[in-house]
Structure 1
Amino acid sequence: MQTSNQGRPYRSHLKPACHACRRRKSRCTTTESSAACLMCQVHGSPCVFVDDDQTRRRKVPPPRGRAIGHADDTENNIDQPDYSTSLSISQPTHVSDTALLQDRAHQRIPVALVDPASQRSSTVSRPSEEASMSAMLAASGDSSPHIISPAMVDDNQELDSYLSNGSAVGIRKITRASSTNASMGSPSRHVLFNTVLRKPLGIQARQSVADGKLEVIEKLLEPHLVDLVDLFFEHANVCFPILDEISFRRTYSEHKDRLSAALLANLYANAMTYWNNSPRLRPCHSPDHRYLWVQANEALHSELFLSPGISTVISIILNVHGRPSTSMFGNGGMVGTAVALSNSLGLNRDCSAWDISPGEKALRSRIWSTVVLMDRWTSLAYGTPLLVHRTQYDVPVPSTELLAYYPVSSIQLAGLSVFTALLTLTDVLSQYLEHMYRISRSAANDRSPTSPFNLESLLLDWEDTLPDDIRRLVIRGNDLGRAGAGNLRLSYLAVKLLLRRILRDATNLPPDHESVVQARIQTQRVAEEIVLHVQELQRPHLRGFWMPTNGFTLTSATLFLLRDALKVTNRTSNTSLKLAKDMIAGLQTHRNNEAWDLADDCLANCTDMTDIITARMNRESPGITDAQTHLDNDFLMFNDVTLSYPSAFDFDLEDFQLDESTYQ
């Protein structure tokens, strides 16, 4: 029996229990003197009474057996509308891609599979563009999307159609409306994501090493943090657009604490390369760059263990492309991690037909394209096979229009055109690398071109597709003042040098055969172009953006010139040796005057070798054969560092074989 002070009748359907009591399955007893029920007063929880029309709405529980993510900490999360209270089973759930990436930290109900179908539901409002892009850079939250195996897609669809009246309830389904490339697979293939825990069990959100490392970096750089962000977007991101500048700057100024600590740490360390470009920073004392990189690396490894996500992939890109580059093993491992994480997040799938904002489409496309670029150029530099295969992704190379979905300046547009040219050049490089690293004979029927004509036509066709200004830039070296222009031309010459090496080694003819001699001369011409390009670089060019892997291109060209110098019979006119010495002299000047770190590898591995060869050839001797015999065999044959680089360019060390009996 109800007493006079009870405001809600027992088990009343006209006045349903509060949300907390319904969840606890406890009796909801209210009094006229208090707006909260007695149980909520005891537990100290908010007492919210749900409207009658909402309580009559049927709710379908998520299917069992799926990963469930619980968000128990709302700190450092992007505020978004609550999608959990307005879903109807008569329509599929339609949310943006970011709703899954923000980890639903504000929800208190279990999350299974979520569906951003190609059509928008009238009961769910999409997040704003600002919050959408900000959430992709956030590292907080307990859950994250993970792509589902294509073999399980049909199983999920059949089960969900049986367990619910609505289609695809609880499933995050993305259907491509059409496919522009027939080789990309069936256009009706769905993309499904599951929600999985980001952090290992037992790890709390506040137990973050990355936040501590970021605090150390910011204390060392204060009060120049904003200046470094400006330098990054002015010199690096303008021609290598990893981040959306407008969204990042807005989030950085208004919600900085919500950004990934690892991302900020690696951005600061990456921007330190351009410290002397700022008139405000140049007179100031520069912190120890290597120490900052150590802190940034530890922050990245911490986030990679605790809460990996899209922000982690961006952090890896900033880390691997940071200068100076000193760890081949570390960078190679990071590239592999970025590839695996990108595949897990579904970045390898074309999102052009997805119901997400243009900013998200551009960001996902540029991240994946940059991961592929990173894989190709580290493969060339480090001598390791490719990690990303062309048959395992369908993301097209982003166009300038896609990247510039918002108004951009003429300088930014010029930088984007350089970036798109670099991406298409990377596609040509990938086909050369596939040919070079092919080991198994079972791959003989691969569709990759193998004839010298087909290999050479790939680069020629790429040149023909370039706009006139970019074509003059890469072929003749014009307009090097454009952001990223010097790096693009050196990258083009690196691909061209690799092509000449492949074509030279493709024949089994004797060394004195006319075609072999002609191939050697053509390779020498490309190496000479690289030397001339280095000599033409001025201070503004050297202080611009450079991929650190291009430092190995300088080493490769110099090693080939030294190798070719040993075969010259006319000691008085050894052009290859002269070019090698010019390369060393030019790099030494750039290193001393502008601290150009791309010169470090070539100077460390080729300076002594060039001096030894020059000294031997300057001696009185019958000919080049005696000079070659007296070379330091130990230095040329057993230098581990030197031997590690030519493999990336298919460098043949047999030409350095010497007669030890004569030397003794």
Structure 2
Amino acid sequence: MAAVITLQSSSTTGPTAPSAAAFQQSPASDHHHQLLRPRVQQQSQPQPSHAPQPGSISTPQSPASSIGTLSRVTASGRDAPSCDACVRRKSRCAINEMINKCYSCDFHRQDCTFTLSVTSRPGTADVPSKKRKLDDADAEEVESPKRPISDVPCPESQIGTLTWVPAARQSTTLPPASNKPDSSSRPALNNHHILTPAFWFQSTQHIGLTTELEPALLEFLPLDQNNEGCVASSRVRKFGDDGTFMRVVNTRSHADSPQTATLDAIESLVAPYGSTLVEKFFEHVHPSFPILMEDSFRQSYRARTGLTPLLLSAVYVLALKFVDVGPASQSVRRPDAGRLESTALKLLTESLPYASMSTVQAGLLLMQRSNLATAALNAQLVTAGFELGLHQDCSSWRMETWEKGLRKRLAWALYMQDKWSALVHGRPSHIVSSNWMVQDLVEQDFTDAFSGTSAHDDAPVGHGPLSFCHMVALTTILSDILDRFYTLQAIEEFRTAGNNRTRMILERAKPAQIRLKEWFGRLPTQLKMDSGGDIFETVNEDNSRNGALHLSYFATEITLHRCIVRSLSQDTADAYLSHICRSAAKTRLISAMDFVNRLRPMHLRSFWPAAARTNFALIGSFGVLLRVTAPTKEESEFYRLRLCEYRWTLSVSKKDAEFLEFALESLDSATNLDHYVPEKPGIDELMTSAAKPTINASRSGANAQLEDSMVELEQTGESGRGGTSSVISGLASPATSISDDSVQDASIPPL
């Protein structure tokens, strides 16, 4: 049993429960079609007593999904007069249909009466509400009681307490018979969730099992209709029957928040490109990294309410590279990128002590900037995720389906960031499998990630979830490799193995190789670099984003083979086994260099995560490793020429991808150390010494079995890739790749 304390400035609109069963098809096994975004489905619930008009029941079957359906509910609005307290405060009054209180009275924990309003405004409830377009709404209109309450409520995760839709979209449903309030009766907004200012103070604190607060006592805590109860000066909320999620209400006012900058201040840094930056973000970044809810963000941006300066600045920071501020715009002030980044980082630092979902979203976005993706910031974000309970399984929690999907997308994005940060910085990972219970992503988890007004269910929306899910699957393989080969415990085990070190490493490597082969086998056509093998095939918006996924694959393979190559020596492997291992590594290097050589400007100008610059550098580092460990002068010269070709490719490509400068500098630094490497013997000299009968005259039975297993593994891996790793991306460089006629001999390439 575990619990979480959530700090926020207002109470929630009611407890939630799953509104539909999750799709049972995992993205890992779905490679025959794109992930589909089910359309919004409306169910019905009874009108509260103060809502005079009954709604109709409507449960249309979604034609957009062939796997499952996602049921949604809409709550009727209330066109009633303001309550007494709101009349006195001269504030907008909107009723929480769940508890028959307005949000303001529920927030202040006071009775909600209508004596004054009924006396002064008889018949107001019979006046029909006005319909307004959301695009024309300002902050005051979004909070107007003249609009019905929305389709899906905004909980502490995306965080709105009040949203609206036109009355024409309302419907009602019958709630299940239960003593506990159901999530379906909470306010909702036709698939749009608006962030409100209260979000700034909504943070969570996970109550572990070893703290001074005994979780068993919380099981006996008296709860109100919102599943909330008092603990000392705080309020906690129970999210599951096993007591896994609790919250504490913090009533600090929004005026007391420690914001460094306001929305207007952030907007002024990029004016007049603000709206353009938002469009560019959802066009280029969001499809590959869907950790926001597009409709919610767009509405909050237009209304200027429920959106934190931190999240807005993070979106602007990532989108700046996609906005062309060229000679035609010389008369317009250029965005202040440096000041925007520093402001965003300062806002993030201030927000981390009481982090919310918005904090993690903004932090993850900022971490996609390679110059901001530090190991320290990664550790802080992971800690914030633990505070929010993102590492827990929320599938049985009382919350809306869309909120569960948001939490899972954020959790896996945080997982990927942590694992790739561990690789990039050479640091231990903060997330371990024994404390990670997040379920696999399924189609339903992306239902609210993208705009509901999109006319197409495929590109780029359908492509985005596929890419994200396969990247998650690849990252789990990387995590396994890091755990098996790069932890201090693993390194010590290899050291103590002595001459059996290579044997131990190869035995551990085989499962990882099989997983990588299976991962590639599940790649759908739209995630490959090209689908027909034609090198002149047109690059579109979708497959231009595939570069980062394939680069990550090569980086994962290289990470595995670096450990194998480092272990090779005359004491740990005979010449035959060493040759097989080095041949396999050579094939990977050539394929990776081929991949980079065939990247086109559209690939390079797309969105690349922060780890990409190091992944490009790892290809060069792997080539350097093979060169310095080459047994002959001829083999060393082969790798020197390949590294020169790779450097030329990077220098030509960096005009479309400035982050490649890092890979160039890394390669140059390694080259400058080359003169310290002892000179290698020539192949003739080596063959002469190898002809002596005293060296490895025979193989033991155990060694023969291991070597044969390695050969079998390599043949299996190559057959799965079409001969060489370069076929993965449809690339075949005549300068470096093995020809089709020699595919069967790929494991023994010439030196």
Shared fold (TM-score greater than 0.5)?
yes
1:169-568 map, 5 Å: 172-175=237-240, 189-195=242-248, 197=250, 204-205=255-256, 207-211=258-262, 215-254=264-303, 256-276=304-324, 286-305=334-353, 307-322=354-369, 325-327=370-372, 331-404=374-447, 409=456, 410-411=458-459, 412-440=461-489, 451-470=508-527, 481=540, 482-505=543-566, 509-510=571-572, 513-566=575-628, 567=630
- How far residue 536 of structure 1 moved from its aligned partner, in angstroms, is 0.8
Q: What SS does the aligned partner of 1:352 have?
A: coil
Structure 2 CA distance for aligned equivalents of residues 277 and 624 of structure 1? 56
- The AA in structure 1 aligned to 2:344 is A
Structure 2 CA distance for aligned equivalents of residues 189 and 276 of structure 1? 52
Change in CA separation of 1:480 and 1:416 when aligned onto 2, cut-off 3 Å: farther
Structure with higher RCO (Cα < 8 A, 6+ apart): 2
Question: Is the 8 Å Cα contact of residues 239 and 415 (structure 1) preserved in structure 2?
Answer: yes
Structure 2 CA distance for aligned equivalents of residues 546 and 522 of structure 1? 28
Deviation digits for residues 241-288 of structure 1, max 9, x if unmatched? 12111221122112x232011010111011112123999979976435
Question: Is the 8 Å Cα contact of residues 77 and 138 (structure 1) preserved in structure 2?
Answer: no
The answer for unaligned runs of 5 or more in structure 1 is: 1-35, 48-56, 58-67, 82-94, 106-116, 176-187, 626-664
Structure 1 CA distance for aligned equivalents of residues 681 and 226 of structure 2? 90
Change in CA separation of 1:96 and 1:230 when aligned onto 2, cut-off 3 Å: closer
Question: Is the 8 Å Cα contact of residues 392 and 436 (structure 2) preserved in structure 1?
Answer: yes
Aligned residues: 509
Q: What SS does the aligned partner of 1:146 have?
A: strand
Deviation digits for residues 136-178 of structure 1, max 9, x if unmatched? x7564545343333564332113438xx999876652233xxx
- How far residue 624 of structure 1 moved from its aligned partner, in angstroms, is 10
Structure 1 CA distance for aligned equivalents of residues 485 and 447 of structure 2? 35
1:631-646 map, 5 Å: none
Q: What SS does the aligned partner of 1:597 have?
A: coil
Taking structure 1 as the reference length, the TM-score comes to 0.66
- How far residue 392 of structure 1 moved from its aligned partner, in angstroms, is 1.3
Change in CA separation of 1:571 and 1:299 when aligned onto 2, cut-off 3 Å: same
1:34-45 map, 5 Å: none
Change in CA separation of 1:475 and 1:578 when aligned onto 2, cut-off 3 Å: farther
Structure 2 CA distance for aligned equivalents of residues 238 and 415 of structure 1? 4
- How far residue 234 of structure 1 moved from its aligned partner, in angstroms, is 0.5
- How far residue 204 of structure 1 moved from its aligned partner, in angstroms, is 4.9
Question: Is the 8 Å Cα contact of residues 252 and 259 (structure 1) preserved in structure 2?
Answer: yes
* Percent of residue pairs bearing the same amino acid type: 21
Q: 184, 188, 208: which is aligned to 1:149?
A: 208
Change in CA separation of 1:479 and 1:358 when aligned onto 2, cut-off 3 Å: farther
Question: Is the 8 Å Cα contact of residues 269 and 339 (structure 2) preserved in structure 1?
Answer: no
Change in CA separation of 1:551 and 1:495 when aligned onto 2, cut-off 3 Å: same
Question: Is the 8 Å Cα contact of residues 139 and 261 (structure 1) preserved in structure 2?
Answer: no
Question: Is the 8 Å Cα contact of residues 201 and 250 (structure 2) preserved in structure 1?
Answer: yes
- How far residue 431 of structure 1 moved from its aligned partner, in angstroms, is 0.9
Question: Is the 8 Å Cα contact of residues 285 and 607 (structure 2) preserved in structure 1?
Answer: yes
- How far residue 315 of structure 1 moved from its aligned partner, in angstroms, is 0.7
Structure 1 CA distance for aligned equivalents of residues 610 and 658 of structure 2? 8
Q: Cα RMSD between the aligned structures?
A: 4.6
Deviation digits for residues 636-655 of structure 1, max 9, x if unmatched? xxxxxxxxxxxxxxxxxxxx
- The AA in structure 2 aligned to 1:371 is L
Deviation digits for residues 337-382 of structure 1, max 9, x if unmatched? 1111111112222223334333222211111110001001111111
Q: What SS does the aligned partner of 1:195 have?
A: coil
- How far residue 582 of structure 1 moved from its aligned partner, in angstroms, is 1.4
Match of 2:70 in 1: none
Question: Is the 8 Å Cα contact of residues 310 and 345 (structure 1) preserved in structure 2?
Answer: yes
Structure 1 CA distance for aligned equivalents of residues 307 and 207 of structure 2? 27
Change in CA separation of 1:441 and 1:78 when aligned onto 2, cut-off 3 Å: farther
- How far residue 576 of structure 1 moved from its aligned partner, in angstroms, is 1.1
- The AA in structure 2 aligned to 1:208 is Q
Structure 2 CA distance for aligned equivalents of residues 560 and 601 of structure 1? 15
Q: What SS does the aligned partner of 2:244 have?
A: strand
- How far residue 429 of structure 1 moved from its aligned partner, in angstroms, is 1.0
Question: Is the 8 Å Cα contact of residues 348 and 359 (structure 2) preserved in structure 1?
Answer: yes
Deviation digits for residues 536-579 of structure 1, max 9, x if unmatched? 11111111011121211222221221232233524498221111
The answer for unaligned runs of 5 or more in structure 2 is: 1-82, 92-100, 102-106, 111-138, 146-151, 163-176, 231-235, 494-504, 685-751
- How far residue 521 of structure 1 moved from its aligned partner, in angstroms, is 2.2
Change in CA separation of 1:203 and 1:421 when aligned onto 2, cut-off 3 Å: closer
Question: Is the 8 Å Cα contact of residues 76 and 140 (structure 1) preserved in structure 2?
Answer: no
Q: What SS does the aligned partner of 1:192 have?
A: coil
- How far residue 207 of structure 1 moved from its aligned partner, in angstroms, is 4.3
Change in CA separation of 1:597 and 1:503 when aligned onto 2, cut-off 3 Å: same
Structure 1 CA distance for aligned equivalents of residues 108 and 666 of structure 2? 52
Taking structure 2 as the reference length, the TM-score comes to 0.59
Question: Is the 8 Å Cα contact of residues 263 and 314 (structure 1) preserved in structure 2?
Answer: yes
Q: What SS does the aligned partner of 1:302 have?
A: helix
Question: Is the 8 Å Cα contact of residues 202 and 356 (structure 2) preserved in structure 1?
Answer: no
Q: What SS does the aligned partner of 1:417 have?
A: helix
Structure 2 CA distance for aligned equivalents of residues 623 and 502 of structure 1? 26
Match of 1:585 in 2: 648
Match of 1:26 in 2: none
